[in-house]
A and B are shown apart, each in its own frame.
Chain A
Amino acid sequence: MATASYPMDGVAGQVKRPALAEYFTWSIDHKIIGVQYIVTSLFFFIIAGALAMLIRWELMTPEITVMADGSQYNTLFSIHGTMMIFTWIVPFWAGLGNYLIPLMLGAKDMAFPWLNAFAFWLLPPSGFLLILGFFIGPAEAGWTSYPPLSTIYSPDGQTLWALSIHLVGLSSILGAINFIVTIKNMRPPSMGWFQMPLFAWATLATSIIVVLATPFLAGALTLLLLDRVAGTTFFDATSGGDVLLWQNIFWFYSHPAVYIMILPGFGVLSEVLAIHSRKPIFGYRMIALSSMAIAIVGFTVWAHHMFTSLQPELRIPFMITSMIIAVPTGIKIFGWLGTIWGGRIRLNSANLFSLGFLSLFVIGGISGVMLAAVPVNIHMHDTYFVVSHFHFVLYGGSVFAIYSALYHWWPKITGRMLDERLGKIHFVTTYIGFLGTFMPQHIVGMQGMPRRVAVYDPQFQDLNVLISLFSFLLGISTFFLLYNMVVSTVAGRVAGANPWRALTLEWQTTSPPPAYNFAGEPVPFEDPYGYGTDASKAYLDAMESRFGPSPGAEEERRPPSGALPEPQPAGD
């Protein structure tokens, strides 16, 4: 039976939020840097989202009507995809990790605070280089930038594109080194590897992928830049170069990059679903180790992006590895289902987005397995089916997890709760908007509508109009979140230290945490997901007596609406 262990000194009361000006300066505080990452990535998310709206506006008709020409349309989806991946999802996770990892481990800061700040400050110039491209002719070769499109046929903005991604890559590597060292060396003595929060496991797995894969991207970009500005011919087939060289190197990074974008989301789900179901996580070790399995197997699947250009004898091995990687992902999904099964599920905004993730990501996963099959892949290649698949994974997966994380940890970061009513409106509009946008894309894709074109067969127009209308709803839904963030930060309900009565260490300090996070050495509870035991209740009560009651926790104590009164007081 679990025994209670109590935190030592803490800081009672409310800690003042840092002044706004601090977020615009060089700071080595991981919490400031975390917020800097998060806000910067949200800024680029809005720009990239606006580009998506323009794409959908253009696709309301089968001819070019909004854009001046096809070239201009090319720039839309190229910069949209690049920004969403490199300046929104990837840096958002870096920001959340920055904020949470030291707190979850009971550390004062990251291992290398100066390096941490440096890694962040590479991000704004990177994003602005992408934007700068619009003034000199932006990149047109898609986010994948295959030569010769990216070498011969793209304007000078493509050079800025490569420089921009170089900066993000360097930023990612430096950040990942920091995460790995922090997680390995800075856990408290009583926190073994298997007492670590699953978000930390996910961040560790992500960081391992980043340090091993991103140098490949750096290599590919260097060759691309040399071809563009120094007259080399690495990708020029007429001079003995090879366009497939780019595809191999690029995808050796970029398929693992999919896991860079989704693994932290898996970590978020493990936290949110357990806490808001008030149940121990189901299969902790399997979930933790499956992250590492994904990190390893993720390096063996890159060529499934090249089935149409790959030597036929290599297709089957890559098909098999691509299917195998569904296994560790499936283990996680069963783990999460087992966690919520029979739990006291709180349908708050954080949990709704996690449950939404679960439903949508499974669809994206299934279409992924379909695309891993060579015959299906060749048929669906470069169609809207692929667009639908990766949006189910990256929007239905990563972005839903990001939203869930924001609702869940916003109280810790700002000391204020996000408004639940607005949060639920945000969830419903996002979910409906998402499904309406991306589900029909499976159909037009299967019927043969190619991606990356502004002019399409008129037979697809009706569905495209429907898709566009839902996409506008999806675009509008984001403003509920942005409005909620602004209003709640100013006048939201005070959260208190631990509004969710969670067991992980980031909640065992004030909201927001003080400088250096904890006064004294925090002592973690022996099981970060040991909800429902007397020991965990005693631990949480001890914390509450130290930091004062959290207004949010009162909500947690109430039984869910429609549920029968419970025989016990709040289960912890």
Chain B
Amino acid sequence: MQNQSLLEQQLGRDAELNLKNKRTGMFVFQVSWIMAFVCIVIVNWQLRFSANWRPAGTPEASPLIGIFATLALVISAVLVWRAVNAIRADDDRAFILQWGGALALGALFALVMVYEWLTVETGTQYALVFRLMTGFHVVHALAIGLYMALVFRNGARGAYHADHYWAVEAGAKLWYFVLVAWLMFYVVIYWV
């Protein structure tokens, strides 16, 4: 009986450490991978001094579309945050609604980005870098969105609850990463 209790204590400590490791690992991964986005910002910065950056008469990307996409992403991140709080409170219905809403807005954001990527006038370094930035970012958004869709499916089946929601938390943190990376790109692409 005592051995059983000791074993349970040990397993509990192991599970706690495991979760702590995952959270730290996710943080380190985010810090690391954001550097790839910083690298591309530097690419933008250096190439914009080239002669063929944006010859006179080249149309710019519309900041309005950019704002629209950014708003969609920001709202989806807020919904993700609320969804995580919902699952922490064991409110499955709110979780599904908010997570689903976030997914829908994420899909909208991705669609806008694909449209931007396809319609930018090519032939300049500006267009090349524009496509690099939007393409690189949307690949991340789609991959993480796919993971979030899996979480949505599992969540709909009742897989997560207040004591077991790491998959949800991980998806949320990855989506925040998509948001932070986009905000950085958005400023550089549309405003600087």
Contact = CB atoms under 8 A, between A and B. Distances in A.
Nearest to A213: B35
B125 to A, nearest CB: 4
B109 to A, nearest CB: 23
A249 B132 CA distance: 16
Interface string A222-259: 01001000001110000111101100110010000000
Given A112-B25, A234-B128, A240-B52, A245 B31 contact: no
Nearest to B35: A215
Contacts of A219: 36, 39-40, 43
Contact of A185 (B20, B36, B50, B52): B20
A177 B33 contact: no
B51 interface: yes
A244 B35 contact: no
Interface in A180-230: 180-182, 184-186, 211-216, 218-220, 223, 226
Contacts of B35: 211-213, 215-216
Interface residues of A, number: 35
A112 B21 contact: yes
B38 to A, nearest CB: 8
Q: Most chain-B CB neighbours within 10 Å: which of A111, A112, A215, A232?
A: A215
Contacts of B52: 239-240
A173 interface: yes
Q: Using C-beta atoms within 8 Å of the partner chain, give the interface range for chain B.
A: 20 to 34
A241 B43 contact: no
A176 B25 CA distance: 10
Majority SS at the chain A contact face: helix
B75 interface: no
B53 interface: yes
Contacts of B56: none
A268 to B, nearest CB: 24
A223 B36 CA distance: 12
A81 B33 CA distance: 27
Contacts of A215: 32-36, 38-39
A248 B49 CA distance: 15
B154 interface: no
Interface string B117-134: 000000011001000100
Contacts of A182: 21
Given A215-B32, A215-B33, A218-B36, A185 B46 contact: no
A256 to B, nearest CB: 11
A254 to B, nearest CB: 13
B17 interface: yes
A223 to B, nearest CB: 7
A234 B32 contact: no
Nearest to A211: B32
B53 to A, nearest CB: 6
B68 interface: no
A111 to B, nearest CB: 4
Interface in A242-281: 242, 244-245, 248-249, 252
B32 A173 contact: yes
Contacts of B150: none
Contacts of B39: 215-216, 218-220, 249, 252
Contacts of A185: 17, 20-21, 24
A240 B36 contact: no
A213 B33 CA distance: 10
A248 B20 CA distance: 37
Contacts of A252: 39
B28 interface: yes
B125 A181 contact: no
A180 B21 contact: no
A211 B33 CA distance: 8
A223 B21 contact: no
B71 to A, nearest CB: 28
Contact of A245 (B24, B29, B34, B47): B47
Nearest to B43: A245
A241 B48 CA distance: 10
B42 interface: yes
B17 A242 contact: no
A223 B43 contact: yes
A261 to B, nearest CB: 19
B46 A181 contact: no
Interface string B77-118: 000000000000000000000000000000000000000000
Contact of A111 (B21, B47, B53): B21
B32 A240 contact: no
A234 B47 contact: yes
Given A185-B20, A240-B125, A241-B50, A211 B28 contact: yes
A252 B38 CA distance: 12
Contacts of A177: 25, 28-29, 32
A240 B43 contact: no
Contacts of A181: 21, 24-25, 28
Given A186-B17, A244-B46, A245-B46, A211 B31 contact: yes
Contacts of B32: 173, 176-177, 211-212, 214-215
A40 B43 CA distance: 35
Nearest to A245: B46
Nearest to A180: B28
A223 B42 CA distance: 13
A233 B132 CA distance: 12
B65 to A, nearest CB: 24
Contacts of B17: 185-186
Contacts of A184: 24
Contacts of B24: 111, 180-181, 184-185
Contacts of B128: 232-234
A8 B40 CA distance: 52
A277 to B, nearest CB: 35
A413 to B, nearest CB: 25
B29 A240 contact: no
Which 8 A-B residue pairings sit nearest by Cβ, starting from the closest?
A240-B52, A219-B39, A211-B32, A215-B36, A215-B35, A240-B125, A111-B21, A240-B50
15 contacts: A111-B24, A173-B32, A182-B21, A184-B24, A186-B17, A212-B35, A215-B38, A220-B39, A223-B43, A232-B128, A232-B132, A233-B128, A239-B125, A242-B50, A245-B47
Given A211-B32, A215-B32, 5 more contacts: A112-B21, A223-B132, A233-B125, A234-B132, A249-B43
Interface of B: 17, 20-21, 24-25, 28-29, 31-36, 38-40, 42-43, 46-47, 49-53, 124-125, 128, 132
